[in-house]
């Protein structure tokens, strides 16, 4: 057992500890992305139920009853903090806290996902002077509001608007500063670019090279990757690559993780309700289920405003989506 797994196992020796620490577990924390709070991100601050939406108690109870062990909640920085170094917006923050409270009461890990693609206020973060301080200021304030092992901090979703090396250095600096400030939450660090497992070894330097030596002083960090199964890996099409190709992607990055003593999180994946896609997803989740380098996964996506999006698992008229009939057996 590597050092990271040993620490997590020690934290979960007693049932009482695990019940109070839902993000620190010796089982994979499989769950969903519950999207909506990040929608229409150009409408700032926006109006809830017009521009964006947070999950209702009824929605949260539906997914709890399906057995989810984690909820990844995408939020937009632009709504949580209107100006660099500014105070957190109390109304938006209160909605996140409602979800966090529900998750804590039900022993679900809440992952607060900063869904900003490496930008702030429609510009690449690196175009701002002292962008490292701006980024840290946001997370320091958020961490003080959610200082609990029932909440995990997802530093940045798909930081594609930043150079990969810039993102890696920024993430490392931020993790170090948070730990120096006695913040002990589980932290999720996305790979650079679009964070794809299929492209982990591509480019110069590659994510494989950049994150091999990434460190967390507390060893409470996982590397987040995404992997859609459609032919361009974008999560926008209803076709799917075959199971053998998907297995190669997962096998390669799992070997990398083992060699570099890292744990992985599949932060986004989704599939259309077709036989071919169901088979590819079955292969993917069966692989992850028996590979201890994976801390879990979160399906993309749940949420009330998806309309006809083919990957949506939001029930329609009280009827479960075909994907949910498959996923709930694996939460």
Q: Point out the residues that are catalytic.
A: 158, 268
Place of tokens 């996982």: 222
Whole-angstrom Cα distance, residue 113 to residue 99?
A: 13
- Contacts with 93 (C-beta within 8 Å, 6 or more apart), sequence order: 80, 145
- Interior angle at CA 86, CA 80 and CA 89, nearest 5: 35
Q: How far is CA 112 from CA 52, 77, 122, 156, 273, in A?
A: 16, 11, 20, 10, 28
Whole-angstrom Cα distance, residue 331 to residue 302?
A: 14
Which tokens in the block code for residue 41? 């991100």
Whole-angstrom Cα distance, residue 257 to residue 245?
A: 19
Phi then psi for 287, rounded to 5 degrees?
A: -65, -50
Phi then psi for 58, rounded to 5 degrees?
A: -60, -45
Q: Quick count: other Cβ atoms within 10 Å of Cβ 182?
A: 8
Q: How far is CA 236 from CA 121, 227, 240, in A?
A: 25, 12, 11
Helices (H), 181-227: 207-210
Phi then psi for 149, rounded to 5 degrees?
A: -75, 0
Which tokens in the block code for residue 27? 């089982």
CA 194 to chain CA centroid, nearest Å? 13
């Amino acid at each position: 057992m590597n050092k990271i797994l040993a620490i997590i196992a020690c934290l979960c020796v007693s049932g009482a500890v695990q019940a109070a620490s839902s993000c620190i577990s010796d089982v994979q924390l499989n769950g969903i992305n519950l999207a909506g709070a990040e929608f229409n991100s150009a409408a700032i601050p926006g109006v809830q139920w017009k521009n964006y939406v947070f999950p209702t108690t009824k929605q949260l109870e539906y997914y709890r009853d399906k057995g989810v062990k984690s909820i990844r909640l995408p939020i937009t920085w632009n709504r949580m903090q209107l100006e660099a170094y500014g105070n957190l917006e109390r109304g938006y923050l209160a909605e996140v806290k409602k979800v966090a409270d529900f998750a804590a009461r039900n022993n679900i890990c809440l992952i607060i996902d900063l869904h900003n693609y490496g930008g702030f206020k429609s510009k690449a973060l690196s175009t701002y002077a002292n962008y490292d301080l701006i980024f840290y200021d946001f997370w320091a304030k958020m961490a003080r509001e959610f200082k609990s092992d029932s909440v995990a901090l997802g530093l940045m979703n798909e930081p594609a608007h930043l150079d990969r090396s810039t993102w890696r250095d920024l993430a490392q600096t931020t993790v170090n500063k948070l730990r120096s400030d006695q913040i002990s939450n589980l932290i999720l660090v996305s790979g650079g670019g679009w964070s794809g497992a299929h492209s982990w070894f591509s480019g110069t330097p590659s994510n494989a090279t950049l994150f091999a030596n990434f460190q967390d002083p507390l060893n409470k960090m996982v590397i987040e990757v995404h992997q859609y199964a459609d032919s361009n890996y974008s999560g926008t099409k209803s076709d799917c690559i075959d199971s053998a190709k998907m297995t190669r992607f997962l096998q390669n990055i799992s070997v990398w993780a083992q060699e570099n003593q890292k744990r992985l999180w599949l932060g986004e994946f989704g599939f259309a309700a077709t036989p071919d896609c169901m088979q590819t997803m079955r292969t993917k989740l069966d692989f992850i289920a028996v590979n201890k380098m994976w801390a879990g996964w979160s399906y993309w996506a749940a949420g009330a405003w998806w309309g006809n999006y083919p990957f949506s698992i939001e029930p329609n008229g009280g009827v479960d989506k075909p994907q949910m009939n498959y996923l709930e057996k694996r939460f």
